[in-house]
Structure 1
C-alpha cells in the first residue's frame, strides 16, 4: 500500500468482528476491483468471510444514507465505503463527491462507528484505474480502506 505501512492487527480484537462494505453500482468495472481487494485484505487478516456483508447502493450520493442505516442496525462493527466518482464536464462531480464525503464523516462521528472512505474522487478514468490496482500504479484504495477499518477497530479497543 502506498503512503502507509500495513499495521500489525490485534487478532483477539478482530475475532468475530462484522464488517459491512457499502458499494456503489456506478463505475462497476472499477468498484468491483476495489471490493475484491478490500474483501481479500479482510479475510487475510482474520475477518471471517461470513462476517463480511456487501450492501449495494445506487451511487456515491446515496452512500451516507446507506451508512446511516447500516450503523443504526447495530449489526456491524465497522463500515467500508467503496465507489468511484469521475469528474465530468459539469459541476455534478463537486456536489456528489463533497456530499458523499461529508455525509460519511457525519455518520461516523454521530455513531462512533469506524467508517473508511474508499470512494474514489478522480479527474479521469486513468486515475481511477491507478487507484484500483489496474493502471500503472500498484495501489488499491479498496485494500487501503479495509486496512483502515481494521486499524481503527484495534486502536479504538485499546482506549
Structure 2
C-alpha cells in the first residue's frame, strides 16, 4: 500500500500565486499578511523580486475564479491561493457572490488539475471577519499551509 501525503519540508521550491480581492480590503490585506508570513517561514521568497510568488488583485470575490483560471492556464504555478471576504448584508447579494465564487474556484481547480485554495471568508458580520483575519486567528496562515501541502502532494503524485 502506498501512502502519499503532502509535506512542508520541500516547499521552498514551489511557485505560488495569490489572487486577492480588493473588496473588504481591511480583511483581505490581513489575510494576505498571514499568508505571506507562513509562506516566508516555509522557505518561499515573498520579496518583490521573487520569482516564486505572484500576487494578482481583483475587484471582489466574484472575480477570483476567472483570474485563477488564467493563472492556471499559464502553467507557471504549482498552487493558487484565493483570498476574499464576503460579509452578509441585507440583500441576497451575499448568497450569489459566495455561491459563484466557490463554484467557480472549484471548477477551475478540477478542470485544470491545479490546486486552488479557497481562502474566502464568508461571515455574517465584520466582527466575525476580523476575528478570522487576525484578532483571534489569521486564517491567511492556514490557507498558505494548505497551499504548501497541496502543492507538494501534487508534485508527489506526478
TM-score, normalised to structure 1, is: 0.89
Tell me, in whole angstroms, the C-alpha distance in 2 between the residues paired with 1:151 and 1:104: 18
Total equivalences in the alignment: 148
Where 2:13 maps in the other structure, the secondary structure is coil
1:45 is displaced (CA, Å) by 0.3
Tell me, in whole angstroms, the C-alpha distance in 2 between the residues paired with 1:61 and 1:130: 23
Tell me, in whole angstroms, the C-alpha distance in 2 between the residues paired with 1:142 and 1:83: 10
Q: Which runs of 5+ in 2 are unaligned?
A: 1-5
1:75 is displaced (CA, Å) by 1.4
1:91-144 Cα shifts (integer Å, max 9, x gaps): 00000001000100000011111111111111010110010012xxx2111111
| Alignment partner, residue 4 of structure 1 | none
Question: In the alignment, does 2:25 pair up with 1:19?
Answer: no
Tell me, in whole angstroms, the C-alpha distance in 2 between the residues paired with 1:64 and 1:97: 12
1:24-78 Cα shifts (integer Å, max 9, x gaps): 0101111110001101100100112211111000101111011001111111111
Tell me, in whole angstroms, the C-alpha distance in 2 between the residues paired with 1:95 and 1:20: 25
| Alignment partner, residue 144 of structure 2 | 146
In the TM superposition, 1:104-123 aligns within 5 A as 104-123=105-124
Q: Which runs of 5+ in 1 are unaligned?
A: 1-6
Question: Is the contact between residue 60 and residue 85 of structure 1 (CA under 8 Å) also seen in structure 2?
Answer: yes
Where 1:26 maps in the other structure, the secondary structure is coil
Question: Is the contact between residue 87 and residue 124 of structure 2 (CA under 8 Å) also seen in structure 1?
Answer: yes
Tell me, in whole angstroms, the C-alpha distance in 1 between the residues paired with 2:147 and 2:100: 21
Question: Is the contact between residue 83 and residue 120 of structure 2 (CA under 8 Å) also seen in structure 1?
Answer: yes
| Alignment partner, residue 30 of structure 1 | 27
What RMSD over aligned residues (CA atoms) do the two structures have, in Å?
1.3
TM-score, normalised to structure 2, is: 0.89
Distance change in 2, residues 1:67/1:26 (3 Å): same
In the TM superposition, 1:37-116 aligns within 5 A as 37-49=34-46, 50=50, 51-116=52-117
1:8 is displaced (CA, Å) by 5.2
